[in-house]
Amino acid sequence: MERRLEESRLLLLSLGASPGAVAASLRKAGVRGLPMDCAWCPLARFLQARTGLCWRVSDFGAWIADGSEGTLRLPPACAAFMERFDAGEEPALRLWR
């Protein structure tokens, strides 16, 4: 796995071991986003802020927008968070309510 993808995977793992912990970590970091938008979801914005790269994230994986590298499989807690966020849960993390 490319070094940038591995570093990004570790960043995602650092958010927590449950969807609630991921949400709490994102709230603490001041990250908000839009549901159902792979470029503006909270995890993409978190990765962009930490790595300086333009990320796209869905509930199955993350990838750098320019397509220069492979897809990073989301840790289970992050994937579950994405499903919850896209379903309308975690309204405090939405850019617009």
Alpha-carbon distances of 90 from 10, 15, 48, rounded to whole Å: 23, 15, 20
- Count CB atoms within 10 A of the CB of residue 59: 17
pLDDT digits (tens, 9 = 90+) for 40-97: 999 999 999 999 999 999 888 999 998 888 889 999 999 999 999 999 999 999 997 5
Q: Which residue has the higher pLDDT, 4 or 55?
A: 55
Domain boundaries defined on the chain = 3-91
Q: pTM for the full model?
A: 0.92
pLDDT at 1 > cutoff 70? no
Q: How many whole angstroms separate alpha carbon 94 and alpha carbon 1?
A: 32
* Residue pointed to by tokens 């949400």: 23
